[in-house]
Homo-oligomer: A and B are copies of this chain.
Amino acid sequence: MSNPPPARVGDPASAIDTPALVIDLDAFERNLDRMARFAHDTGIRVRPHAKTHKSPAVAWAQMVRGAVGQCCQKVAEAEVLVAAGIPDVLVSNQIVGASKLARLAALAKRARIGVCADDRMQVDAYAAAARAAGVTLYVLVEIDVGAARCGVAPGVPAVTLAERIRDADGLVFDGLQAYHGSAQHIRGHGERKAAIDTAAEAVRVTTDALAAAGFECRTIGGAGTGSYRFETATGLWNELQPGSYCFLDADYARNLDDGGAEGSEFEHALFVASTVMSAVAPDRAVVDAGHKASAVDSGLPTVHGLADVTYVSASDEHGKLLRGAGAKPLGLGARVWLIPGHVDPTVNLHDWYVGVRGGLDDGVVECLWPVAARGALS
């Protein structure tokens, strides 16, 4: 049920079969280096999110640059990471169900495993699973810092949950999960900062209440690619969980900087290679990559490197391009590089990364990395 890779190592990039998920390795490594330098300069820990990349190869490229571990959202993702030797994995999510918890606890024999809680029933189930396996699970109390999704209210409810964790054999209270997902894509720089300032107030109230009850937080985790500088600047968070920064996507690139300009300090490093498969009208072309090749939950892909060409609609296996007056013709068989609207679910559609060195147009395939946790839903 796994599909063959769309290229061979050593192939010219132009020979990659399409659609394919392609990493520009030079840009990718610059992105990793940029985040590693930030961590070094500020002294903050970085625990990149593997829900973006689902790949041991990417995880290790982050680890050798100083990442303290990996985050993920699913037990099945954690299984892939631990099998690849990652020594410290946080499931930045609530896990419910005895069979999943038995699997999670089994991982704790081979790695330091963290998990989040926002309910005492979860805590009791985590403790039972840890005791049954004879392991320790490190539990973060998730607080709602503004997304109104998961997480207990800041302050006393977090303390109550921390006490239950402290009192449970098999569990260690490790701190707070304070991630503001919906803030990541607030376009305005000031508005995005304001959302994190509000989140910081929730963290402060909670750490004060925890301190008054005798609790120390080893970890205060959160932040994403869109906001991590803000969390860092507060001095409250000590662990960042960015995912998309390694690849960047079209949606993140629409965030505004403090000068009001679109863009990102990171570079687009992940592309969907596509081919024109129909070109019957002078103003349009159809490529072989629709929404089964590039996820559209956060908008359509954009077209890389072709002036005045727009990807205007996606069906399952077709992407329609419109050519403006300034665009060159796009003939049958032409290669079109797409920048995904959202990298995380796009990666999840593919079995292989094709790593290209030396640029998309003239480069060479250097590596093929399996998307090892593709479809790891459980």
Binding site for B on A (CB under 8 A): 1-3, 6, 17-20, 51, 73-74, 76, 93-97, 99-100, 118-119, 121-122, 144, 148-153, 181, 275-281, 284, 286, 288-289, 291-293, 295-297, 314-318, 320, 332-333, 344-345, 348-351, 370-372, 374-378
Contact A318 B150 (CB under 8 A): yes
Knowing A18-B378, A297-B297, say if A372 contacts B1 (CB, 8 Å): yes
Contact B378 A96 (CB under 8 A): no
15 A/B residue pairs, CB under 8 Å, sorted by A: A3-B378, A73-B317, A96-B275, A96-B288, A96-B333, A97-B333, A148-B284, A149-B318, A150-B318, A152-B280, A291-B295, A293-B377, A297-B297, A349-B349, A374-B375
Contact A376 B3 (CB under 8 A): yes
Query: Which of B1, B150, B371 is close to A286, meaning CB atoms less than 8 Å apart?
Result: B150
Contact A17 B375 (CB under 8 A): no
Contact B19 A377 (CB under 8 A): yes
Contact B51 A317 (CB under 8 A): yes
A247 to chain B: closest CB distance in Å? 14
A116 to chain B: closest CB distance in Å? 9
Query: Which of B19, B153, B280 is close to A118, meaning CB atoms less than 8 Å apart?
Result: B280
Query: Which of B1, B144, B316 is close to A2, meaning CB atoms less than 8 Å apart?
Result: B1
Q: A119-B279, A144-B280 are in contact. List 5 more A-B contacts (CB 8 A).
A: A17-B99, A122-B332, A149-B318, A292-B345, A351-B375
A217 to chain B: closest CB distance in Å? 20
Query: Which of B286, B292, B332, B376 is close to A348, meaning CB atoms less than 8 Å apart?
Result: B292
Considering the chains assembled together, what is the distance between the CA atoms of A325 and B19 in angstroms? Answer: 47
Contact B348 A349 (CB under 8 A): yes
A378 to chain B: closest CB distance in Å? 5
Knowing A97-B17, A292-B345, A345-B291, say if A378 contacts B6 (CB, 8 Å): yes
| Chain B residues within 8 Å of A93, by CB | 277, 317
Contact B277 A76 (CB under 8 A): no
Name the residue among A2, A94, A315, A316 with the largest chain B CB count within 10 angstroms.
Answer: A316
Contact A278 B345 (CB under 8 A): no
Knowing A93-B277, A280-B119, A332-B121, say if A378 contacts B99 (CB, 8 Å): no
| Chain B residues within 8 Å of A351, by CB | 1, 375
Considering the chains assembled together, what is the distance between the CA atoms of A289 and B73 in angstroms? Answer: 11
| Chain B residues within 8 Å of A318, by CB | 149-150
Contact A97 B275 (CB under 8 A): yes
Contact A96 B332 (CB under 8 A): yes
Contact B332 A278 (CB under 8 A): no
A74: nearest chain-B partner, CB-CB: B317
Contact B315 A181 (CB under 8 A): yes
A17: nearest chain-B partner, CB-CB: B378
